[in-house]
Amino acid sequence: MRTIISSTTALFLSITSSHASCTVDKFRFQFGEDTTAAIHLNGSRDCTITLFMGRKTDVQSFQITQKPAHGAASWNGSLVSPKIRYQASPGYKGSDDFVFSASGSTVTNGGVTGFSGVANVRVSADVQ
């Protein structure tokens, strides 16, 4: 499943999972703004959000700033093709959440830095 949102100021997203029963609600975010996202795990234990940046996006860092209480969240370490993975604890069913942050900037058509700063994304996980 792939979702692409057309905007030069937003980070794009795609969803991958080792299980077909992982879905992610559509979301986008831009530097300097906080937002929320939701993932749904129905019979699977993990879900990966793959982020695609706009052509004019300069990502400087990613980090998990709040760990989930009932699982683990990790970043693959790539600024070129960043992926955020959530894995529920064995046997856990219910709600969980974590926060990841991205910092960087977006350059406008005239070469001027537009949006810059940090974007915090709170991800709510629904594990069935």
What's the length of the chain?
128
Q: Domain 2-127 classified CATH 2.60.40?
A: yes
Residue extents of the structural domains in the chain: 2-127
Residue 29's pLDDT band (cuts 50, 70, 90):
confident
pTM equals 0.81
- Distance, in Å, from the CA atom of 3 to the CA atom of 26, rounded to the nearest integer, reads 7
Residue 118 has pLDDT above 60, yes or no: yes
Residue 8's pLDDT band (cuts 50, 70, 90):
very low
- pLDDT at 1 (0 to 100): 38
The residues, ordered by sequence, that sit 6+ positions from 48 with a Cβ below 8 Å of its Cβ are 15, 16, 17, 18, 22, 83, 84, 85, 86
Share of the chain above pLDDT 90, in %: 38
- pLDDT at 84 (0 to 100): 92
Residue 17 has pLDDT above 70, yes or no: no
